[in-house]
Chain A
Amino acid sequence: MDWGALQTILGGVNKHSTSIGKIWLTVLFIFRIMILVVAAERVWGDEQDDFICNTLQPGCKNVCYDHFFPISHIRLWALQLIFVSTPALLVAMHVAYRRHEKKRQFRKGDQKCEYKDIEEIRKQRFRIEGSLWWTYTSSIFFRLIFEAVFMYAFYFMYDGFRMPRLMKCNAWPCPNTVDCFVSRPTEKTVFTIFMIAVSSVCIILNVAELCYLLTKFFLRRSKKAGNPKHHPNHENKEETKQNEMNELISDSCQNAVIGFSS
């Protein structure tokens, strides 16, 4: 179970996203996860081994490293990416639930079901409206919150985004104050700034997607208000089913298939 598996899981969600959502997913996988795996992990690979303190006191290096790096950048980014990509699964679950309901209708032989076979239901793309709109909007909202929280945690822990070359440490058992040197500070700064920039781009995309969805919602609402003939069809489902049943029962046609409401 690694990033590849996550990509497989989230790839399915892509079908039901908006265009901005698809761009966001691409940015996430190519500019964040892939950069993390192929580049950033190598840069931080020797972070503790090459963290050198100017002392022979055993244990001083460990303690100073732990003091300055409570959680490594790489792990923070990994957690951030996992948390940020997971709300999309809410949408996947909702879509799966809708698909399941359609399949049930199809199997019951509901006349309203316009699909020719199960395969078509599986391949169908659902429109983002009704309850799916709320699920989708919630997922974007959670994404935004997680991104913001992690960026704040980053800034709070590492006091700005720059990696210094030298840190002065006087935690026990270091005798007095010792100089400790960080490995590859410039490269780490470059990658930190890169990941922060891409994170900001993702936040902007999420905000844009949220605005887009809200705009679409209000436009649709105003269209409905201006067109009084349009009724939400779910309220008439039960009555339609009952009418159909009655029709079929009173019909003496040989090939009648009866569906009954549960």
Chain B
Amino acid sequence: MNWAGLYAVLSGVNRHSTAIGRIWLSVIFIFRIMVLVVAAESVWGDEKSAFTCNTQQPGCNSVCYDHFFPISHIRLWALQLILVTTPALLVAMHVAYQQHQEKKLLVLTGHGDIKSLEEVKKHKIRIAGSLWWTYICSVVFRLLFEAVFMYIFYMIYPGYQMVRLVKCEAYPCPNTVDCFISRPTEKTIFTVFMLVTSSICIVLNMAELVYLVVRACTHRGQQNSNPSTRKGSFYGHKLSSEYKQNEINQLLTEQDGSLKDMLRRNPGLQEKGDRCSAC
């Protein structure tokens, strides 16, 4: 299990995300995980071996390194990226659960053929009802984790600049010794880069949150002004099909009565589920 495995797991979630969610996922994988793997890891690769203190006292080097770097930047970023990408799995689990329920319903109503069951897996589920709440929670958790890690980073390494020289007086170092960090400028550049991408991800998450809330309020407003529509519940997409069925019936009321009767008798002739499009 490595970053590629995580990518495989999260690519599936991508289908059920909003457009902003997909952009967020691309930013995470290309500008954070990929940069971490191909560039940053080699910058921090020799951080301990090239950490040099101006002393020959055995043990002083190790103690000073441990004092100034309780946890390496690379490990912090890896933890941050794992925790930030994992809430998306909540959405994946909820979607899987909904699909399972849908399949059960199909089997119960006598449409349990292989083709219909395959169709359930393929269609995109609308972010409505309880799925909306799950999605919102996942975005909130993402935001929370990003903020917490940025704060931890700032606490452990005040300011984001890596200095060339640190003065250390931990036992067994005699008096105060000068210790020199390897590649401080390059580390500062990458720290700033990762910080900027982290901020971009925070902004994208907030935008997605606002977008979802605004969309939900708009839908609510539409539903309130149109009393013939039922409130969305667990099978959001099913009800949208029923809503369309109502529309067709209304449309046909003034038209050919035989056509309307024919459609009522054979609901299968109606267009096959106009599932919700891109959110």
A residues sitting closer than 8 Å to B (CB atoms) are 1-3, 5-6, 9, 48-49, 57-59, 61-63, 65-66, 69-72, 74-75, 78-79, 82, 86, 89, 93, 97, 100-101, 104, 107-109, 173, 249-250, 252, 254-260
Contacts and interface: CB of A to CB of B under 8 A. Distances in A.
Given A1-B3, A58-B53, A260-B248, A100 B278 contact: yes
Interface of B: 3-4, 6-7, 22, 26, 29-31, 33-35, 37-39, 42-43, 46, 50, 52-55, 164-165, 178-186, 189-190, 193, 247-248, 251-252, 255-256, 258-259, 262, 269-275, 277-278
Contacts of A61: 52
Contact of A62 (B26, B180, B259): B180
B181 A108 contact: no
Contacts of B259: 249, 252, 256
A109 B271 CA distance: 7
Given A58-B53, A79-B39, A259-B271, 16 more contacts: A1-B3, A2-B38, A5-B4, A63-B164, A63-B180, A65-B182, A70-B189, A72-B183, A82-B38, A97-B278, A101-B277, A107-B274, A108-B271, A109-B271, A173-B178, A252-B258
A6 B30 contact: yes
B184 A86 contact: no
B252 A82 contact: no
Contacts of B262: 254
Nearest to A246: B255
Given A2-B38, A48-B46, A70-B186, A252 B256 contact: yes
16 contacts: A48-B50, A58-B53, A61-B52, A62-B181, A66-B184, A69-B183, A74-B39, A78-B38, A78-B39, A89-B30, A93-B22, A104-B277, A107-B271, A249-B256, A254-B262, A260-B248
A6 to B, nearest CB: 7
Given A66-B183, A100-B278, A1 B37 contact: yes
A207 B253 CA distance: 60
Contacts of B22: 93
B185 A66 contact: yes
Given A2-B34, A48-B50, A260 B164 contact: no
B4 A1 contact: yes
Contacts of A48: 46, 50, 182-183
Contacts of A89: 26, 30
A93 B27 CA distance: 13
B183 to A, nearest CB: 6
Nearest to B262: A254
Contacts of B185: 66, 70-71
Interface centre among B34, B262, B272, B275 (most CB of A within 10 A): B34
A257 B271 contact: yes
Nearest to B23: A93
Contacts of B181: 62
Contacts of A49: 46, 50
Interface centre among B38, B50, B164 (most CB of A within 10 A): B38
Given A1-B4, A254-B262, A259-B271, A82 B31 contact: yes
Contacts of B30: 6, 9, 82, 86, 89
A71 B186 contact: yes
Contacts of B39: 74-75, 78-79
B255 A249 contact: yes
Nearest to A72: B186
Given A48-B182, A255-B269, A3 B248 contact: no
A250 B254 CA distance: 11
A191 B129 CA distance: 57
B134 to A, nearest CB: 23
A249 to B, nearest CB: 5
A78 to B, nearest CB: 5
A253 B60 CA distance: 91
Nearest to B273: A107
Contacts of A65: 182-183
Contact of B42 (A74, A86, A255, A260): A74
Contacts of A100: 277-278
Interface centre among B39, B184, B185, B272 (most CB of A within 10 A): B39
Contacts of A71: 185-186, 189
Contacts of B165: 59, 63, 173
A262 B89 CA distance: 33
Contacts of B270: 257-258
B43 A75 contact: yes
Nearest to A83: B31
Contacts of B38: 2-3, 78, 82
